[in-house]
Structure 1
Amino acid sequence: MDIKGEVVAVLDEVLSLKGRARGFSLNTPLLGAIPELDSMAVVALITTLEERFGFTVDDDEIDGSVFASLASLIDFVQGKLAA
């Protein structure tokens, strides 16, 4: 499974970026840098990641650092899949 590709696809889909997410690098900042990523979008993003990858996220696992960059979000997903 191409985790990076799936995470980018989820970002693009949930935030309605119309393909812009495909241009993101691992260092692309997310929270605070992408206007579409507001608090409601974070909830939708987490829900979609849970559905797409088949894991559950507890409220205490999420803080701003998870959404700091594309790399931190991918690391979070990989950690959940490895658990």
Structure 2
Amino acid sequence: MKPTRILHALVRAGAASLRWVWESLCVYGRSIELAAGVTPYRHRGPPPTHPERPAGHIPPTPVERRLWSQLDDRADKGER
């Protein structure tokens, strides 16, 4: 065999093995996406937001939570 034929055979074998590896990785990646609920047809949307807060709102601190709960308690009792 000529050296060029050997080289071409090695290149073809390398390309075939690379394609096999790539396809197996793509299948693995797709299985991860499917498990996560992300497909090309249904992307995962942003997380649901509170109706009174805009998207990207910083969560309240523990102190703010206590104040809001006190205000809610007052509203439940009918106080101002």
Pairwise same-fold verdict (TM > 0.5): no
Q: What's the TM-score, normalizing by structure 1?
A: 0.23
Q: What's the TM-score, normalizing by structure 2?
A: 0.24
Tell me: higher relative CO, structure 1 or 2? Use CA pairs within 8 A at least 6 residues apart. 1
| Higher Rg of the two aligned structures | 2
